[in-house]
């Protein structure tokens, strides 16, 4: 029984087939950002807007959110 339950634990129980990704767009031109900030803007994708807002606020950036 334990062997059958272990694969189910790793999935998290969420259906990700129709998931929308929240992206971050800088309000400052990309030329004025540091390389680390530029990399964050290009790579960051979040499951919820709250997660995205927390990540942007932790970096003290000015940005807007949009759905991919």
pLDDT tens, position by position, 1-55: 444 444 554 555 555 555 668 999 988 888 899 999 999 999 999 999 999 999 9
Q: How many CA atoms lie within 13 A of 54 on its CB side?
A: 6
What's residue 31's pLDDT?
85
Residue 17, H or E segment: none
The pLDDT of 52-63, averaged and rounded, is: 93
Sign of the Cα torsion 47, 41, 59, 10 reads: positive
What predicted TM-score, i.e. pTM, was given to this entire model? 0.66
Query: Taking phi first (over 0 means left), then psi (-120 to 50 degrees means alpha), and beta for anything else, what does residue 13 get?
Result: left
What's residue 2's pLDDT?
41
Does residue 67 surpass a pLDDT of 70?
A: yes
């Amino acid at each position: 029984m334990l062997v059958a339950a272990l694969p189910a634990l790793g999935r998290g129980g969420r259906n990700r087939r129709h998931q929308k990704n929240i992206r971050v767009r800088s309000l400052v031109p990309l030329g004025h950002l540091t390389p680390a900030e530029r990399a964050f803007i290009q790579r960051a994708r979040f499951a919820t807007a709250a997660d995205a807002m927390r990540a942007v606020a932790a970096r003290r950036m000015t940005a807007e959110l949009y759905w991919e």
